[in-house]
Amino acid sequence: MSEKFRNKFLSPEERAADILLRMTLHEKVMQLVQRPIGIDSNPNNASTWTTFNPLFGSILNFSGSVEERNAYQKAAVEDTRLGIPILWAFDVIHGYKTSFPVPLAQAATFDLETAFSVNAASNREARKSCGTDIAFAPMCEVCRDPRWGRIVESYGEDPYTVSRFTEAAVRGIQDGNPGMLACLKHFAGYSAATGGRDYSAVEIAEIAMQECYLPPFEAGVKAGAKCVMSGFNALNGDPVIKYRNLLEDILRGQWGFNGMVISDCNAAKQLDDQGYSSDKMKQAVASLQAGNDMDMVDMVYFALEDAVDRGDVSVADINRAVKRILEVKFSVGLFESPYVDVQELPDYPEMDALALDAARKSAVLLKNENGLLPLKPAEYRKILLTGPAADDASCLIGSWMGAAKWDAEYAALLKDTAEEYFPAGTVVYRKSVGFTGEDDDPDLSATALAAAEECDMIIAALGENGNMSGEYRSRAFIGLPGRQLQFLRELKKLGKPVLVLLTAGRPLVLSEVAENCDAMLMLWQAGKMASRAAWDIVTGKVSPSGRLPVSFPRCEGQIPCHYNQRPLARRRFKEYIDLPDGALYPFGFGLSYADIVYGNLQVSENPDGDFIAEIELHNNSDIDTDEVVLWYISDPEAELTQPVKRLIGFSREYLPAHADKTIRLKIIPERDLSYPDAVGKRHLEAGKFVLDCSGKADVSFQFSRPEKK
Ligand code: BGC
């Protein structure tokens, strides 16, 4: 074997160095290019692409068969001089064909095993279906503005939660599917979109970067993510795609990332829109030199060959990027296994059961007056089911649907599964208002209201459809869209109990909705099994156990209203003269059918200097349930003042009826009691700390060790 790079016993670095010596400049530049094949249904990038070149480094959005993918791959492996295989990328955000809860809903489970399994399962399905190698996930951006449509892809407003879910997703994608790569996106600050407007420039203070926006990316890198996608956004004036300090100094220098960085779709070309330059060569050079190894879609990197000739970029810059891409290809075994062998890949077990379990765990009960829920079907003669979400699959699946379609085949409709849960004839479905109000037929609403008069209770399935959140889906008003609220008011006037089932890819403003119903269950967009999970909870087969990973504002003017802000300088003062303080439903909120009593919270110091916290939980009811336990720390006296509280741990605990359980948390001062400054240096100060458990119990304790120098 004369070509060293073919020797699988050598390291990826040695193999990449060897192959690099054999490559022409053109072959190198082609490795830096990612192009799409197939249909991109993402509304803002929607297009069909056909051009294939076997020298491309990577292909995205291909959703054809594995056989087709392997045939393309064969052209790269067998019909090119060096036979470098292509990496196949796909946006596997919450499923491929089997749709799982959207990431925001996954976070509501506060269950990392669920996040691991959902990512492992959906990527296995993508790999088996179309031969995906890179999942463009997880999106590990902390998101505090519900107007931004991409909040649906996030794990919410809390850096700790987002970090843990990022790790679980990375492991699910990569460890759950050897040979696959996770791609952390979008590095960094995209989610802080000003006013929630997608693609807007953002200004983020250094301290906020350190406390909030960088930690989940660092956690993802430490969990082993092999790919990072840079953002579209300008950050503090500099488009991220040309922000070398971020892509090289922080990502690689400080965190030791040694995978590949890819720019986001057309980001280099967009440097024109952003006011940097319309010159493709300048765009390409800026992007490459900042640390983007691969360029997504826009073909701007083709200008690099001329840029080398002109001396605008060095071959060393190009080599560095090519080498990183090739090292990744070697490290995941792509040269040894360029083809996906469907026979060798086992199916992921019980996809539907996993989808159902995840959907059940993600639903959040927001209101339950007079114990309306769980419904006892036998107590109702007739129930009216109405509202746009009862008869729509898009609202259950949401954006980034992979190869699924907004069709009942991919997510059974609420109106169709109701009959599995209620005696025949009990639930009467009547069409009424639509999602947007544009094509509302007043006759339909009138018929539904007339039907409601004949019923003993009303279930209104309301919210957003699947096209109202996601990329390029910012909303200025985040209440119920269209005429849904007016219709709900009319239903409520009938004086019958009203249950609202909500579908949405973001927190909604629900103040008036809450006033016009007795019970409210947030279903998010929970995927294929969403409707069955909903009825399981409504009828009491399962107790609701999801908790909000993001706060729901009282009105748009209150945004941002995340829980972990710093205190007011005048704590006793109200926030607004015309609004009650605090979110309508804050982070961590969620009701249960069971009555879980928290007691005897204690903190003790170990001889090694760590602390152990203990809390006793008692299920004071006849109902089996899961309880999400959330641990918060407050540091009321600090040199650099700290948020009123911040999460440092969580777990999901199974508590059968009348069971007791003691839950423990280890507090490591260096990790949990310290805080970063504006340059990321951590400070650990002696003094008083307060530990809060799920907002149900708190205790203060002293930390007295001096700061280590
Ligand atoms: C999105 C990315 C996505 C890419 C490829 C872009 O518009 O911002 O998150 O991975 O398209 O589909």
Three-state SS string over 453-470 comes to HCCCEEEEEEECCCCCCC
Nearest CA to ligand 1 atom 6: 265
DSSP class of 672: I
What span, in angstroms and rounded, lies between the C-alpha atoms of 260 and 328?
A: 7
Mutate to test the pocket of ligand 1, among 40, 143, 471 (most ligand atoms within 8 A of CB): 471
Rounded to 10 degrees, the C-alpha dihedral 197/99/97/188 comes to 30
CA of 190, closest atom in ligand 1? 8
Q: Which residues pair with 611 in a beta bridge?
A: 605, 667
Nearest CA to ligand 1 atom 7: 265
| 41 Cα to the center of ligand 1, angstroms | 11
The tokens for 531 are 């409707």
Mutate to test the pocket of ligand 1, among 40, 45, 94 (most ligand atoms within 8 A of CB): 45
| 624 Cα to the center of ligand 1, angstroms | 41
What span, in angstroms and rounded, lies between the C-alpha atoms of 698 and 154?
A: 29
Residue 185 Cα to chain centre, angstroms: 10
Q: Is the peptide bond before 374 cis (omega within 30 degrees of 0)?
A: yes
What span, in angstroms and rounded, lies between the C-alpha atoms of 243 and 229?
A: 13
Task: Give pLDDT, residue 243.
Answer: 97
Q: Which residues pair with 362 in a beta bridge?
A: none
Mutate to test the pocket of ligand 1, among 87, 93, 264 (most ligand atoms within 8 A of CB): 264
Task: Give pLDDT, residue 576.
Answer: 97
The tokens for 592 are 């249960």
What span, in angstroms and rounded, lies between the C-alpha atoms of 9 and 11?
A: 7
- Taking the whole predicted model, whether its pTM rises above 0.85 is answered as yes
The per-type count for the chain, helices as H runs and strands as E runs, is 19, 27
Task: Give pLDDT, residue 376.
Answer: 86
| 400 Cα to the center of ligand 1, angstroms | 10
Task: Give pLDDT, residue 38.
Answer: 80
Nearest CA to ligand 1 atom 5: 265
> In the chain, which stretches have pLDDT less than 50?
707, 709
What span, in angstroms and rounded, lies between the C-alpha atoms of 563 and 548?
A: 11
| DSSP E strand stretches across 363-487 | 364-368, 383-386, 427-430, 457-463
Selection from 90, 146, 120 nearest residue 550 by Cα:
146
What span, in angstroms and rounded, lies between the C-alpha atoms of 262 and 332?
A: 17
Selection from 257, 259, 248 nearest residue 289 by Cα:
248
Nearest CA to ligand 1 atom 4: 265
Task: Give pLDDT, residue 708.
Answer: 52
| 264 Cα to the center of ligand 1, angstroms | 6
CA of 91, closest atom in ligand 1? 10
Q: What is the DSSP string of 104-168?
A: HHHHHTT-HHHHHHHHHHHHHHHHHHH---EE---B------TTSGGGGGS--S-HHHHHHHHHH
Instruction: List, for residues 98-142, the tens digit of each pLDDT value.
Output: 999 999 999 999 999 999 999 999 999 999 999 999 999 999 999
CA of 139, closest atom in ligand 1? 9
| 265 Cα to the center of ligand 1, angstroms | 6
What span, in angstroms and rounded, lies between the C-alpha atoms of 253 and 232?
A: 22
CA quadruple 390, 392, 393, 394: dihedral sign: negative
Task: Report yes or no: 421 and 459 within 8 Å, Cβ to Cβ.
Answer: no
CA of 183, closest atom in ligand 1? 10
What span, in angstroms and rounded, lies between the C-alpha atoms of 523 and 377?
A: 20
| 244 Cα to the center of ligand 1, angstroms | 21
Rg, C-alpha atoms of the chain: 26
Residues composing the chain: 709
Task: Give pLDDT, residue 99.
Answer: 98
Task: Give pLDDT, residue 439.
Answer: 81
CA of 186, closest atom in ligand 1? 9
Instruction: List, for residues 1-33, the tens digit of each pLDDT value.
Output: 579 999 999 999 999 999 999 999 999 999 999
CA of 232, closest atom in ligand 1? 8
What span, in angstroms and rounded, lies between the C-alpha atoms of 115 and 472?
A: 25
Task: Give pLDDT, residue 706.
Answer: 56
* Cα angle, residue 329 at apex, residues 323 and 332 outer, rounded to 5°: 135
CA of 42, closest atom in ligand 1? 12
Task: Give pLDDT, residue 17.
Answer: 98
Task: Report yes or no: 382 and 456 within 8 Å, Cβ to Cβ.
Answer: yes
Q: Residues with beta carbon inside 6 Å of ligand 1?
A: 42, 45, 60, 91, 136, 185, 264-265, 471
Task: Report yes or no: 172 and 126 within 8 Å, Cβ to Cβ.
Answer: no
| 183 Cα to the center of ligand 1, angstroms | 11
The Cα-based distances of 246 to 88, 271, 365, 672 in angstroms read: 26, 17, 40, 25
CA of 153, closest atom in ligand 1? 9
Mutate to test the pocket of ligand 1, among 35, 102, 136, 270 (most ligand atoms within 8 A of CB): 136
Q: What is the DSSP string of 493-554?
A: HT-S-EEEEEE-SS----HHHHHT-SEEEE--S--TTHHHHHHHHHTTSS------SS-B-S
| 684 Cα to the center of ligand 1, angstroms | 39
What span, in angstroms and rounded, lies between the C-alpha atoms of 283 and 269?
A: 7
What span, in angstroms and rounded, lies between the C-alpha atoms of 79 and 99?
A: 37
- 3-class SS at 612? strand
End-to-end alpha-carbon separation of the chain, Å?
A: 54
Nearest CA to ligand 1 atom 8: 264
Task: Report yes or no: 371 and 497 within 8 Å, Cβ to Cβ.
Answer: no
Selection from 503, 544, 404, 549 nearest residue 112 by Cα:
549
Mutate to test the pocket of ligand 1, among 40, 42, 292 (most ligand atoms within 8 A of CB): 42
The tokens for 44 are 């803002």
What is the CB neighbour count within 10 angstroms for residue 22?
12
Task: Report yes or no: 242 and 287 within 8 Å, Cβ to Cβ.
Answer: yes
What span, in angstroms and rounded, lies between the C-alpha atoms of 504 and 146?
A: 11
* Cα angle, residue 587 at apex, residues 582 and 592 outer, rounded to 5°: 110
What is the CB neighbour count within 10 angstroms for residue 555?
17
What span, in angstroms and rounded, lies between the C-alpha atoms of 90 and 134?
A: 6
* Cα angle, residue 587 at apex, residues 586 and 589 outer, rounded to 5°: 70
| 230 Cα to the center of ligand 1, angstroms | 10
